Amino acid sequence: MNVKQGDIARLVESEFDANRNRLVSVLRRCTCLGAPLHLPYWECEALQPMACWNLDGPVTIDPAGTVRCVADADLRPLHDGDGEDEMLRIAGKPEQTYVESRTVALTR
């Protein structure tokens, strides 16, 4: 399995290109009807808005906080480990900047 309960993970595969690299919180193994029993699926809380199919047909945007079942194969965890930091690779290394410190005294 790629992820475990409690992980923050990113979607590496999705029917919608806009969902790739979106972040989710892995809540628990998915036991909902329709989830294939032979494949690991997870109930995941979206940490960002995500596109999804609506039962009526059109694509909708679910808000952050929506819980959906996601295949383990479509997820990669974000956590400390040996080797390259995945978020630095995705977002780029932050640049250090210096700001001049100013103290303001308030008088009455």
What span, in angstroms and rounded, lies between the C-alpha atoms of 19 and 35? Answer: 20
Amino acid 42: pLDDT: 92
Q: pLDDT tens, 14-50?
A: 888 889 999 999 999 987 766 666 678 999 999 999 9
Amino acid 59: pLDDT: 83
Q: pLDDT tens, 60-98?
A: 888 999 998 899 999 999 865 555 656 666 666 667 666
Q: pLDDT tens, 47-69?
A: 999 998 877 777 888 899 999 88
Distances (CA, A) of 55 to 52, 60, 66, 68: 10, 10, 16, 14
Closest Cα to residue 27, out of 45, 41, 48, 10? 45
pTM of the shown model:
0.67
